[in-house]
Structures are given as C-alpha cells and as structure tokens.
Amino acid sequence: MSLSDSRLELVQGDITKVTADAIVNAANSALVGGGGVDGAIHRAAGRELLEECRTLGRCPTGEARITQGYKLPARHVIHTVGPVWQGGGRGEAGQLARCYQSVFALVEKHGLRTVAFPSISTGVYGYPLEKASRIALREIRAALERLPSVEKVTVVLFTPWDLEVYRRALAGEPEPEGGLGR
C-alpha cells in the first residue's frame, strides 16, 4: 500500500506474524512484557525472550535494545520505549523520533534488511495517532534515504482505522483540526 517508496509498506495485521529480520516492540522501560503489542510479542516469542530481556536491564525512553526473536517468524526483536503523551509540551515529539532513530541505528549496526514497526506510543501511552503517524513516517523515510541496504520497512497497524490514519499521513494529507476521531 506504499504511496511513495516501494521499500515502505503499510498493512493492517498482527506484527507477531510478520516474517522479517526484525520486528519492533513498543516496550516498557523494564523490558518485561506488558499489554498491547509488548504483551503480544512476549507471548508469541516465548519465555526465552523475557529471560534475554532480563539480562539487558532497563531501556530509557527513546532508546532501543535488540534480542533474538525466538518463536517469532522474525529473527530479532528491537525493543524501544516510546514516550507517554503528556499534552505535547514535554518533548514527546523528540522522544518519539529518537525511538525510530535508535531502532534504525540497530538495524544498521546488525546489517538487517527488513524491519516491521507497530505504531509506537499510540496505545496505552496515549500519543495521538495522527501526530505519531507523521513522526513515524518522517523518520522512516529519512532512514530509507540514509540506508540503501534496508530493503523493506513495514508498518503494521492493528485496526483499519489506524491504517487509514497512516495512509493519509503517507499521502501528505493535512492533519485534521482536532484529529479525525474514532
């Protein structure tokens, strides 16, 4: 469903089913699993993922850590901790951008060619989807320009609504006043 780069794809689905060099986990700072995407990835990967995460210590907001994928179809999981939305005036946009930058630094370091992202921070962390989608796509496009070795970035959205918001952002449509609502 890419509108501007054959290496960028938007899909609705379950990120735990994606075959890629790495999938990205919207993790909590303790890296021990939780709700939403984080819990689903931990459940699908199996106990070994939690055991490896425990050896990594904490992960501050905006940073990323890499582990094996274990029972997932992805070889690796890159865990990143997004910001909790506090109204937008506390550096949330920069922190969210750093999540993507940190993930791509690990993609480059480990020579990964395919990576799948969820919508980071838009679940229980409350980041507005319209705003987060634009930051995500800006950072993904910048990484694709900088890293020709990356063959495919897939953004896996959980609901049709999430996919539509990302599709509009990818098409360059202006962010609606007050958001689109659900």
Each residue's pLDDT tens digit, 38-49: 999 999 999 999
Regarding pTM above 0.75, the answer is: yes
Pick from 50-54, 78-82, 151-155, 170-174: least confident: 170-174
Over residues 84-109, mean pLDDT: 98
Is residue 168 very low, low, confident or very high in pLDDT (cuts 50, 70, 90)? very high
**Residue tagged active-site, from 5, 14, 38, 162:** 38
172, 16 Cβ separation under 8 angstroms: no
Instruction: Please tell me the number of Cα atoms within 13 Å of 48 on its side-chain side.
Output: 10
Active site residue 14: no
The ranges assigned to domains in the chain are 8-170
In whole angstroms, give the CA distance from residue 73 to residue 23: 9
Tell me the CATH number for domain 8-170: 3.40.220.10
What digits encode the pLDDT tens for the residues 24-37?
999 999 999 988 99
